[in-house]
Amino acid sequence: MNRNLRLWIIAVALLTVGVVGRRVTAQTRTTPFQVGDRILLHVEGDSALSDTFTVVAGPALRLPEIGEISLAGVPRANLEAHLTRELGRFIKDPVVQARALIRVSVLGEVTRPGYYAVPVDLVLADALMVAGGATKDARVDQLRVLRGNSSLWSGNELQTEIARGATLDQLGIRAGAAFRCRDTATRNRRGESWASSWEASRLPSASSR
């Protein structure tokens, strides 16, 4: 085979692998645990270790009578296997069930706008269902995922991820994200109004300052 042709074939093959690799990485990306994340843990036969626990600095999981178990570098998808292995140092053959939860807000044209602790493996299409589902006036195609004033996902890109069944973890969605579904015809802001009222209720009154 001509040497130049052989080099050209190798170059194309490497380029193809690189493109596919980036696509796979984008579809399976995960986010590290952060302080404030919650973990729903059940250890068979141990009520003290069967509860919802909050991730502390480290990141780590602080458990009664066990102490801290590091979560540094642990993919959320591998949480259960990791905790089973770590708890095995203290408990013989532990039977462990564990799910990572994050706290998000679901606002706008949904039945029960509010804050919810949801599993990171929640399929994106089910995000509105935790708040009772979209209202009859909702435009689900106008769904946006926000963090503060920044838009994380929206438009055709978000709709594509919904169609392929992407999970929150695969999209890199962290605690504090907001799902906002609007009625574009009326620009209804019931979710935003609810959130503003909730924040205002947390502020101290003039008489208590």
Q: What is the pLDDT of residue 61?
A: 96
Query: Could you tell me how far CA 21 lies from the centroid of its own chain?
Result: 23
Rounded Cα distance, 197 and 4, in Å: 69
Does 88 have pLDDT greater than 90? yes
Q: What is the pLDDT of residues 149-188, one digit of tens each?
A: 888 898 899 999 989 999 888 888 888 899 998 765 544 4
Q: What is the pLDDT of residues 12-33, one digit of tens each?
A: 444 333 433 333 333 445 578 8
- Work out the pLDDT band at 96, boundaries 50, 70, 90: very high
Q: What is the mean pLDDT of the chain?
A: 78
Q: What is the pLDDT of residues 45-63, one digit of tens each?
A: 999 999 999 999 999 999 9
- Work out the pLDDT band at 3, boundaries 50, 70, 90: low
User: How many other CB atoms are found less than 10 A from the CB of residue 79?
Assistant: 21
User: How many other CB atoms are found less than 10 A from the CB of residue 121?
Assistant: 14
Does 73 have pLDDT greater than 50? yes
C-alpha distances (whole Å) from 179 to each of 70, 71, 109, 121 are 30, 27, 10, 16
Q: What is the pLDDT of residue 202?
A: 38
Does the domain formed by 102-202 have CATH 3.40.50.9100?
A: no
User: How many other CB atoms are found less than 10 A from the CB of residue 93?
Assistant: 8
The one-letter amino acid at 93: D
pLDDT-above-90 percentage for the chain: 37
Domains 38-100 and 102-202 share a fold: no
Taking residues 105-111, what's their average pLDDT? 91
- Work out the pLDDT band at 68, boundaries 50, 70, 90: very high
Domain ranges of the chain: 38-100, 102-202
Rounded Cα distance, 106 and 4, in Å: 57
Burial class (CB in 10 A: 0-12, 13-18, 19+), 6: exposed
Q: Which residue has the higher pLDDT, 126 or 12?
A: 126
Instruction: Please identify, in words, the CATH class of the domain defined by 38-100.
Output: alpha beta
Q: What is the pLDDT of residue 185?
A: 53
Q: What is the pLDDT of residue 171?
A: 87
